[in-house]
Structure 1
Amino acid sequence: MSRTRDPFYSSARKLRRAITLYDRLVDLDRVFRSNLSVNWQTIGPDGEGFYEHIRVPSKAIPEEIEDGMIDCIHNCRAVLDLLVYECGLLKGVSSRQLMFPVASSESALDEMFADKKRQLHRLGEKFQNIVRQQKPYAGGGNLIKDLHDLDIIGKHRTLVELAIITPATLGNMGVAILGARFLNQGLSPLEVAVPIPNRITSRLKSPAGSMGDIYRQMSDVHLLVFADDVPLAGRRVLWNLRSMIAQVDTVRNNVILTLS
């Protein structure tokens, strides 16, 4: 369908671009992790007899992966703003502030809909209901707020950094120390995978000895996650990007259906 006949051409094109970038990231991630290893560097002992064990990856995360990740996020977030703009054109609404609403709280989202300058109220009750169902605000438990925050960081503040984790299962001491939170979630601590810490302080010179009672099984699988100081910290990059794209696609389809 030509862009002159499809009123939602722009958002569709951005969505396709996000999917293309994601597919490229999957390939880059596979190549990067295919010969990646993580080794221990031991420092010490210090004056009190403690050793510092630090996990060091055999190679740095390629800039191409970090840049491709944030480009995917930018395009995915842009789908939502373009979708609202396209809806506005169909409804005869024109406003520079006509953007997909993402708020700091549920009450702040209500204020955005009530703000006459934003013109969101003119897009109709069905549109508002779809947005409200997504809970695009802090505490809403929805990836759209995380997508928005990552996009803001990547465009206006700093690079969105990634990290490498290595999952392992818990040993007996690990169950005693860390298992309670998994039991509260209805999970078996003996089966759940947790990331091995990147830094351990211990009186034992060997990092394996320092962790042997806590982690039962050391994994050779290394995963890319969001770094500690950004939204979704510690969570898998590709899994969450795929989920964001799927959610944005669902929102777009639902909005289009309300106008058909």
Structure 2
Amino acid sequence: MSKLVFNNPRKKLSRAARHIQTAEQLAKQFADKAKPELVPICVYPVEGETNKVLYELRFSSPPPEDFPLVVGDTLHNLRSALDILICDIAELRGKRRVFSFPFAANEEQLNDLMDKKGVSKLGNDVVEKIKYLAPYKGGNRGLRALHDLNIIDKHRNPISIFMFTRARIAMPPQFNDFVASHTGLNLNNSVMPLREGSRAVAREGTNPWSLFGSIDGPPAPFFPEAVPFEGEPVIGTLNGLLRMTEEIVQIFENGIEPN
């Protein structure tokens, strides 16, 4: 018997891949023209000492407005590919009810949900593969995160994406030597992520960039706080989710029969 190929989910995966390419292009365009700047916000008088200045990190160009929208479109296509996969399996097995890929809060709820939604009627081979994929909290982190991010993007404003640059810390030699002698750590090799809006204080008349040894790489997009994949790079994460979803489709292509 020839191997099954689920073309409809794969069309969604192809669309997601194109969206990721667009996201990469937008991120590169931003990185090429956006330079980090430390802008003075206010001056703090210090009695008997040189005044201190509060600086805020800003980029010379605003992030692309379309970037969060492209990320949301990518997530939607990846998540939709899973629903379409289950629908295609249902059609293959003569089931006319509309199905969706089940996601649950835990393993026990997953079993109940598959019974309630009729997914269990698609066959034990389908049920076992879904159980193996563990699409619940505490199970498959990437799969559950894809579902949660897609919900966030559908029911709220587009996911805010923070642009970070990285700076190497510049420590006084005496302090770095002291830390190195006691801990073995070289603080001058440490890299600090700097988000737009990050603040630093320097003495008036000094170069605020002297707080940092160097900028280590151009600005890049990262997921914000309080969402799945918090603090992780957007492009790499999307590519990982694409590979994961492709592998899920392959699992069903290789492991089930029409009847």
TM-score bucket (shorter structure): 0.7 to 0.9
Aligned to 2:221: 224
- Do the aligned residues in 2 keep the contact of 1:10 with 1:82 (CA within 8 Å)? yes
Matches within 5 A, 1:80-99: 80-96=82-98, 98-99=99-100
In 2, the alpha carbon distance for the partners of 1:254 and 1:8 equals: 11
Deviations along 1:132-182, whole A, 9 cap, x unmatched? 3333222335212121111111112221111111124456679x7xxx9xx
Select the structure with the greater relative contact order (CA < 8 A; seq sep ≥ 6).
2
Structure 1 length normalisation: TM-score? 0.78
Residue 108 of structure 2 aligns to a residue whose secondary structure is helix
In 1, the alpha carbon distance for the partners of 2:73 and 2:154 equals: 10
Structure 2 length normalisation: TM-score? 0.78
Matches within 5 A, 1:189-204: 193-196=191-194, 198-200=197-199, 202=201, 204=203
Deviations along 1:70-127, whole A, 9 cap, x unmatched? 111111110000001111112223334x2111222333323323xx330111223332
Residue 44 of structure 1 aligns to a residue whose secondary structure is strand
Aligned to 2:151: 152
Comparing 245-254 and 130-139, the one that deviates more: 130-139
**Residue ranges of structure 2 left out of the alignment (5+ in a row):** none
Aligned to 1:55: 57
- Do the aligned residues in 1 keep the contact of 2:202 with 2:208 (CA within 8 Å)? no
In 2, the alpha carbon distance for the partners of 1:246 and 1:191 equals: 33
Aligned to 1:164: 163
> Structure 2 residue aligned with 1:73, among 67, 72, 75?
75
**Residue ranges of structure 1 left out of the alignment (5+ in a row):** 1-5
CA RMSD of aligned residues (A): 3.1
- Cα gap change, 1:133 to 1:52, in 2 (>3 Å): farther
Aligned residues: 240
In 2, the alpha carbon distance for the partners of 1:33 and 1:54 equals: 19
Deviations along 1:185-221, whole A, 9 cap, x unmatched? xxx9876754135423546455435x44xxx543142
In 2, the alpha carbon distance for the partners of 1:120 and 1:149 equals: 20
Bigger Cα Rg? 2
In 1, the alpha carbon distance for the partners of 2:147 and 2:125 equals: 22
